Amino acid sequence: MHEFDLIRQIDSFTTAHEDVKVGIGDDAAVTSSSAHKDMISCVDTICEGVHFKRSTLHLSDIGYKALAVNLSDIAAMGGTPRYYLVSLSISEDWKQEEILEIYRGMNDLANRYDVLLIGGDTVSAQNGLVISVTVLGEIEKNCSLLRSAACEGDIVFASGTLGDSRGGLELLLSQGLTGEEHALVGVHQRPEPQLTLGQLLKESGFRIALNDISDGLSSEIWELAEASNVCICLEEKNIPVSEDAIKLFGKQTAYEYALTGGEDFQLVGTVAKAHWPTIQSTAQEKGIRLSAIGSVEQEGASQVLMQKNGERTRIKRAGYRHE
């Protein structure tokens, strides 16, 4: 069963409650916590051999990344992370000092954003290492940025450059850690959660739909289209890919990595056309690159199209999927 099919089945067991503002189906859950704040909760799990290998990540990078993927979900809601918990399933071939080095990597990132470790759990496993991180954050009441906010006429935008993490992984798989001096490798090993941008977008007060790019642009843009029930058309030439990726892998492969490579942990979203110049210039003032990559064309038809050389084709929902 595909991950998204399983999520839909699990959602059928959930019960609506007045305190739950956003449940299953967005980057994180949002619940009412006080008169002025909502709580944002998210959890992600990474498994040895599936999400990471010792041959491509240093031990501290494993910990850094385990926390970063969760902070990215908080960023996609426009929130501020506050606390995190860690659950480990550890086999006998992992040494205590190695586990502590993983925690050091988490701590490196947590200290940058003032996020506190407040607990967790550790159990034995027969094989490998599994790390599950839960992050608790907060946001001003009723200010969360949701995937379901896109409307006809919106500009579709993306942050940073896309596909670099996949390019870095390819270099690591072919060269091992000896090739890690390349910039793309750093993007893969230590992705930067876009917390500053998420909060900037929230503080704008504009209607913004937002999603983080964890499984590849094509997968995440489909999530936006389906949540908002809109048709989105992307312009391939406007998708931001780095010169490094083009130089190493060629333009077409660089675009493929952007669409399906995953683990960029940038943000993709939509905003009203009238508000786009303000959003772009405000981000630029903070040193953040935002690119207009398409538009929302109509409501009532969930689909994603790609325009290339004057022709349009329907984008397949591709990218990393848990099966």
Domain count of the fold of the chain:
2
Note whether 154 and 21 are same-domain residues: no
Residue 64 CA to residue 73 CA, distance in Å, equals 15
What pLDDT shows up at residue 35? 67
Note whether 186 and 89 are same-domain residues: no
Note whether 83 and 202 are same-domain residues: no
Note whether 43 and 110 are same-domain residues: yes
255 lies in some domain: yes
Domain closes at, from 112, 140, 168: 140
220 among annotated binding-site residues: no
Q: By the 8 A CB rule, do 37 and 131 touch?
A: no
Q: What is the DSSP letter of 149?
A: G
73 among annotated binding-site residues: yes
Residue 267 CA to residue 212 CA, distance in Å, equals 4
115 CB neighbour count, 10 Å cutoff: 24
Task: Provide the residue range defining the domain that includes 280.
Answer: 147-314
What CATH number is given to the structural domain containing 33?
Answer: 3.30.1330.10
Domain closes at, from 140, 165, 184: 140
List, in order, residues 6 or more apart from 171 with CB less than 8 Å away.
179, 182, 184, 185, 248
Pairing relation of β-strands 311-314 and 29-32?
A: unpaired
Residue 68 CA to residue 191 CA, distance in Å, equals 7
27 among annotated binding-site residues: yes
Model confidence, pTM: 0.88
Note whether 115 and 216 are same-domain residues: no
121 among annotated binding-site residues: yes
Note whether 169 and 292 are same-domain residues: yes
Note whether 303 and 218 are same-domain residues: yes
103 among annotated binding-site residues: yes
Picking from 90, 94, 87, the residue whose alpha carbon sits closest to that of residue 126 is 90
18 lies in some domain: yes
What pLDDT digit, counting tens, does each position of 82-103 carry? Answer: 999 999 999 999 999 999 999 9
320 lies in some domain: no
What pLDDT digit, counting tens, does each position of 90-146 carry? Answer: 999 999 999 999 999 999 999 999 999 999 999 998 889 999 999 999 999 999 999
Strand partners, 32: 38
44 among annotated binding-site residues: yes
192 among annotated binding-site residues: no
Note whether 217 and 96 are same-domain residues: no
What CATH number is given to the structural domain containing 263?
Answer: 3.90.650.10
214 among annotated binding-site residues: yes
314 among annotated binding-site residues: no
323 lies in some domain: no
36 among annotated binding-site residues: no
Query: Could you tell me the pLDDT band of residue 319, with boundaries at 50, 70 and 90?
Result: low
58 among annotated binding-site residues: no
Domain closes at, from 140, 167, 187: 140
